[in-house]
Amino acid sequence: MITSNYCDNGLCNATIVYPLEDEKQVSVPLITPFDSLRFISSFNGIVCVCNAIYSDIYLFNPLTRMSRKLPLKHSRDPHRYDVVFGFDSVSNDCKVLKIAYKMPARYCTDALDVLSVDLYSSISDSWREIQVGIALPSLAYCSFLPVLISGPVVDGVLYLEAVNTIVTFNLHSEMFGLIPYPSFNHRRKSNVLDFEGSVAVVLESIRDGSLDEKEVSLWTMEAVSDEVFWNKNFTFDAGFNDIDWVFLYAGANNFVGKTRLGQVLYDYREKQTKYIRLPSQSFCVKALKHTETFLSAEQFIGVNNS
């Protein structure tokens, strides 16, 4: 699915487009009519969505249009937040992490340091603070980018994308870890991906020492005896070079990315590009891998917003 916000007559709207289903569109009930939505990630048919300042967080099922508003988590002010989301398949529990960063004294000079990490469990419907145990990545305060971006869940581990490293979070043991990106002469051209059950990234590297001829390849991660290795899986054809960034692997041979002309689906086996139609003047565009499902009341208690 491709999520986006757009404005019409001064009011904000949000929509979901399903590019693999003849571009079916679904409107999203807004938290307020004047606030844009941030779509975090999607697992087991549930989308985590919040308002622009991460104060209101919802778990939303686009198929049933039912949602659950998470209890408010009051913290020390002022600070900045990241929100990430995953599904613990062992305990059948939706888990949300809210990372609070301490505001530095000097703008654009000091980095954002982690103040606290709180975990929400859908089973208990409550928040609790957890210990990190490692030094999480930081980012200069002047950046509007999140420090951590919610990524895929592979084998029970949530992968979070940072600028220079990958942060792992085991959703059942609730332990953090760090994994380096491939250390080659390359430029990363993707978010952290789930490619057929493997953690992957798309890399652009200089081929044969030429600045004009570049090779774009998919690299997958392999863990052996607590060591991490990156292996080149395959090289894309020349037509893939027009894609500036890859958001995710949607399955069925299709990658979702963007070019200077807009969002695209790219079939890497057929070598075909299809442009995705979004509402005009869309912003905060995000691609999520989503599987529709009906959840029982025991699994997902909410209020019908239709």
- 3-state secondary structure string across the chain: CEEEEEEECCEEEEEEEECCCCCEEEEECCCCCCCCEEEEEEECCEEEEEECCCCCEEEEECCCCEEEECCCCCCCCCEEEEEEEEEECCCCEEEEEEEEEECCCCCCCCECEEEEEEEEECCCCEEEEECCCCCCCCCECCCCCCCCEEEEEECCEEEEECCCEEEEEECCCCCEEEEECCCCCEEECECCEEECCEEEEEEEEECCCCCCCEEEEEEEEEEECCEEEEEEEEECCHHHHHCCEEEEEEECCEEEEEECCEEEEEECCCCEEEECCCCCCCEEEEECCCCCCCCCCCCCCCEECC
* 109 has a pLDDT exceeding 60: no
d(CA 125, CA 72): 11
pLDDT score, position 212: 61
The pTM assigned to this predicted structure is 0.85
Mean per-residue pLDDT of the chain: 80
Taking a C-beta distance cutoff of 8 angstroms, is the pair 37, 29 a contact?
no
Average pLDDT over residues 99-126: 82
Backbone angles phi, psi at 141, to 5 degrees: -60, -25
pLDDT score, position 284: 65
Which has the higher per-residue pLDDT, 294 or 104?
104
d(CA 27, CA 20): 17
Taking a C-beta distance cutoff of 8 angstroms, is the pair 240, 268 a contact?
yes
Span 43-96, pLDDT tens digits: 888 889 888 778 889 888 888 878 888 998 766 555 788 999 999 999 999 999
Q: 102, exposed or middle or buried, with CB in 10 Å at 0-12, 13-18, 19+?
A: middle
Q: 24, exposed or middle or buried, with CB in 10 Å at 0-12, 13-18, 19+?
A: exposed
Backbone angles phi, psi at 199, to 5 degrees: -70, 135
In the structure, what pLDDT confidence band is assigned to residue 304 with cuts at 50, 70 and 90? very low
Among residues 49, 87, 102, 249, the alpha carbon closest in space to that of 169 is found at: 87
pLDDT score, position 266: 93
Is the domain spanning 2-304 CATH 2.120.10? The answer is yes
Span 221-270, pLDDT tens digits: 998 777 889 999 999 998 888 899 999 998 999 999 999 888 898 999 99
d(CA 31, CA 50): 8
Which has the higher per-residue pLDDT, 148 or 291?
148
Query: Which residue type does 296 have?
Result: S
Share of the chain above pLDDT 70, in %: 72
pLDDT score, position 53: 79
Q: Where are the domains of the chain?
A: 2-304
Span 153-198, pLDDT tens digits: 999 999 999 988 999 999 999 999 999 998 767 889 999 999 999 9
In the structure, what pLDDT confidence band is assigned to residue 115 with cuts at 50, 70 and 90? confident
